[in-house]
Structure 1
Amino acid sequence: MIPWTLIDSAKLPGQGELRLKRRGSEFSIMLGTNELMNSRLSGSEEALATLACATLREAPQPQVLIGGLGMGFTLRAALEVLGPGARVELAELVPEVVAWAKGPMAEVFAGCLDDPRVSVTVTDVGAAIAAAPARYDAILLDVDNGPEGLTIPANDGLYSDAGLHVARQALRPGGVLAVWSQGPDRRFTQRLRQAGFSVEEKMVRAHKGRSGARHVIWLAARR
């Protein structure tokens, strides 16, 4: 079996370290012993985008914010759904992740960062949300393994009552907040409803096929 090779690492604000590893054509991003993402598992990340952007296909100039660059699966899927007038803002907190996308993982990203509809900013997605009242038709969050601050403890604020209120204010009427999670969280569903969202909870496959692990995507529409 081909061994894993460490390509690079990146310090996270506050604590922790991301590690980019490669085995043949396969990539993995690790946080400690947790694998945050793998280039062979893209099904649920793509579903995050296709479900959230489904109603925006015919919109003339939809504005979409994606929190977390990852391996680009969510971004690529969003671009496939959205029309030529769309604008997709990508907020990534860790500059090394952007460098990995343009360097060792360029094949995985397949040029999506060069799409003229895309702008990438190295920033906290929470700050991007707070700075843009009534700006977005969709906000997609894939910055943790669920509605808690795994990668960055401060991300807890994104999923709190106050954080959800700010996200709701950043959406246009009918806009959608979509959140990826490794598993269900009943209390988070309740918080979304209490914050003024109409909520759907979707179970999707980590793989594109019909077997394997299931992940959760919340689709929360601003009422």
Structure 2
Amino acid sequence: MIDASASADRGTRAGRSTGEGWQEVARAAIPGEAEPMRLVQRGEAYSILIGTAELMTNILRGSEQALGRMGCAHLHDTPQATVLIGGLGMGFTLNAALAELPPSARIVVSELMPAVEQWARGPLGHVFGRCLDDPRVEIRIEDVRRTIQSGAEQFDAILLDVDNGPQGMTQRSNNRLYDAWGLKRARFALKPNGVLAVWSGSPNRQFKARLRLCGFDVEERRFHSDGRFNRRHVIWFATKPEHAAW
């Protein structure tokens, strides 16, 4: 989830609640939040909101697809590759990851909100396509932090698009994903040469430095929302060294 100010970084992702022509399709209560999460539609456009803050849309998808494609590119020929995706979204990262991975791969998607999976199998089914029926995919309705902490050296890649990245978050508990403690847990959960890929609505020098301090080799890529390189969206690709001590 992201806050209203950060939502603009995803490309005019705000103002859907009362905009002309937008109709509410469904809503779901969020534990600990006053505002519900809502799915709205106008023609072929769909948006998921909290209040007027847009969390995701099917119109702008380039950097979300890049997260899945580039985060799994090193696994194209890796038998039994195992990938964790934090957040189901509208399936763009999942679909891109599936296209990169071999038939023997496994993808675990941790999604906190049951409604997101329900919408994926219902009104957003045409957006998701058949990715949820792919035998490589396992959906877990749980906090991605719990999944990361469930064991050492489980994953070849961890792809995170949670709360707009390391800033602009609406749930304080998600800070633990991006602080030093959370990054060390992610490193612990990765196999040697595993990649932690983190999507963000904007650059963050402190976070980039924190990744390095936590023992990752870091590459930063910047994207426009349609996939072109630009100064808007950022993905950090943080690799765990092959001979890491932990």
TM range (shorter): over 0.9
Which residue does 2:104 correspond to in 1? 85
**3-state secondary structure, aligned to 1:167:** helix
Q: 1:188 aligns with which of 207, 213, 222?
A: 207
CA contact (8 A) 1:207 1:213 kept: no
Q: Would you say 1:76 and 2:86 are equivalent positions?
A: no
User: 1: distance between equivalents of 2:28 and 2:208?
Assistant: 32
| 2:224 alignment partner, one of 193, 198, 205 | 205
Task: For 1:101-112, list aligned pairs within 5 A.
Answer: 101-112=120-131
CA contact (8 A) 1:92 1:120 kept: yes
- What are the within-5 Å matches in structure 2 for residues 101-180 of structure 1? 101-148=120-167, 150-180=169-199
Q: Do residues 18 (structure 1) and 18 (structure 2) align?
A: no
Residue type at the aligned position of 1:100: W
1:85 and 1:109 map into 2 onto residues whose CA distance is 21
Q: Tell me the distance in 2 between the aligned counterparts of 1:88 and 1:25.
A: 28
**Partner of residue 50, structure 2:** 31
Go from structure 1 to structure 2 and tell me whether the alpha carbon gap of 1:213 and 1:192 turns closer, same or farther (over 3 Å shift).
closer
One-letter amino acid matched to 2:237: L
Gaps of 5+ in 2: 1-18, 242-246
Q: Please, which of 170, 192, 216 is the counterpart of residue 234 of structure 2?
A: 216
Please tell me the residue identity of whatever aligns with 1:65.
L
Unaligned runs of 5+ in 1: none
- 1:44 aligned counterpart, secondary structure: helix
Shift of 1:148: 3.6
| Displacement after TM superposition at 1:146 (Å) | 1.7
Deviations 1:1-55 (A, max 9, x none): 9700011112222214211101111100112221111101110000001111111
1:40 to 45, 59, 71: 59
Cα distance change, pair 58–126 in 1 and its aligned pair in 2 (3 A): same
Pairwise CA RMSD: 1.6
Shift of the 211–177 alpha-carbon distance from structure 1 to 2, 3 Å rule, reads: closer
Q: Alignment partner of 1:41: what SS?
A: coil
Matched positions, count: 222
Q: CA offsets, 1:41-71, max 9 Å, x none? A: 1100000011111110000110000000000
Give me the whole-angstrom Cα distance separating, in 1, the residues matched to 2:175 and 2:194: 22
